[in-house]
Structure 1
């Protein structure tokens, strides 16, 4: 039976790891798991995953260490799943070129759409695997997350990191991926700002 793709899942919390492995397997993905950074790098070398889902803070090598290895040596795209969303963490996530940054607690209704979106980006050529994290020109109007963060910052007088966290919580509450939540918000804003019909 063919799978929808191979995912390396890394988390030092065995319950979280089991939940993710079960949920992703049930959704049709082949899952390789590891509960520490060293094993994650070994699995990435031998099993060649299509995508990695990484916890950030672990004993020994962190998720950031694993991500740096995947980017430099394996050209494996990655996402983070973490309880942390402070400004320093978000900055590091961006600097490493992650496809997404999901916030714990684990909710498969949030994770599965985000994983599916990541595979679409990888396979659709939107984000070539060899260039993950590399700077590239992009249309500023094509990034709904950045625009939605700006809208929330302006409307509620919030700093960027707080606005992003508010959007993440809304996405989790609605069971949507962050990008889908931001697109919903922008659609509503555009509807409200459209001129009334004569």
Structure 2
């Protein structure tokens, strides 16, 4: 079956994750999966999927946190899959600009049409947009490091229970101590975490 596109699927329920991944692969999509928000962001940076399916309530970074990063830094559209449909959740979904919101429990036959519609929406939105920047590589020019700082700040916020300002200050102090630029310090931090979550490391 022809590859219809690349999708990132994120859910902390391993059974749900496996079910979604299998169903979407059977439907012709290339699927990357993660069971937490930190790994989801790293995988999104590396693989640049065309769409993300996000669970909302997860330990660590929530689906909302991941969605905000995908929207602001990678320009990747996303849809939410959640067991919750309360007013506040719906308000946040709308504020973030999700292309779809599906309430669990879900049948894969419900999800595939929504995914196809989201891909159609993405093609329309990105027709006039520049291509996403390639993933950062070792020794990449400074111009490719623009998204390293916010992802490192996000990781520091989660790992050390800091707010955004405190996390940025912590990274700046570390950079000064190491006598490197903030971008380089952030690149080292992200690269270290990417190594830990690489296939075969866990």
Name the TM-score, length of structure 1 as normaliser: 0.63
Report matched runs for 1:59-78 at 5 Å: 59-78=59-78
2:104 and 2:82 mapped to 1: Cα distance?
Answer: 5
SS of the residue corresponding to residue 105 of structure 1 reads coil
Deviation at 1:46, TM superposition (A): 0.3
Tell me whether 1:41 sits opposite 2:21 in the alignment.
Answer: no
With over 3 angstroms needed to count, the CA separation of the structure-2 counterparts of 1:126 and 1:41, relative to structure 1, is closer
Deviation at 1:122, TM superposition (A): 1.1
2:19 and 2:117 mapped to 1: Cα distance?
Answer: 20
Query: CA RMSD, aligned part only?
Result: 1.8
- Report the count of equivalent residues: 130
With over 3 angstroms needed to count, the CA separation of the structure-2 counterparts of 1:57 and 1:129, relative to structure 1, is farther
Indicate conservation of the 8 Å contact 1:45/1:74, yes or no: yes
Is there any run of 5+ residues in structure 1 with no aligned partner, and where? Answer: 131-198
Partner of 1:122: 122
2:124 and 2:64 mapped to 1: Cα distance?
Answer: 26
Partner of 1:54: 54
1:88 and 1:38 mapped to 2: Cα distance?
Answer: 24
Tell me whether 1:88 sits opposite 2:99 in the alignment.
Answer: no
With over 3 angstroms needed to count, the CA separation of the structure-2 counterparts of 1:103 and 1:43, relative to structure 1, is same
Deviation per residue, 1:87-144 (Å, 9 max, x gap) = 00000000000000001012111100000011111113499778xxxxxxxxxxxxxx
Residue range with higher mean Cα deviation, 115-124 or 96-105: 115-124
2:49 and 2:25 mapped to 1: Cα distance?
Answer: 14
Moved over 6 A (4+): 126-130
SS of the residue corresponding to residue 40 of structure 2 reads helix
Residue range with higher mean Cα deviation, 105-114 or 12-21: 105-114
Deviation per residue, 1:36-76 (Å, 9 max, x gap) = 00000000000100000000000000000000000111000
1:129 and 1:100 mapped to 2: Cα distance?
Answer: 21
Partner of 2:104: 104
1:72 and 1:108 mapped to 2: Cα distance?
Answer: 29
Partner of 2:11: 11
Indicate conservation of the 8 Å contact 1:9/1:33, yes or no: yes
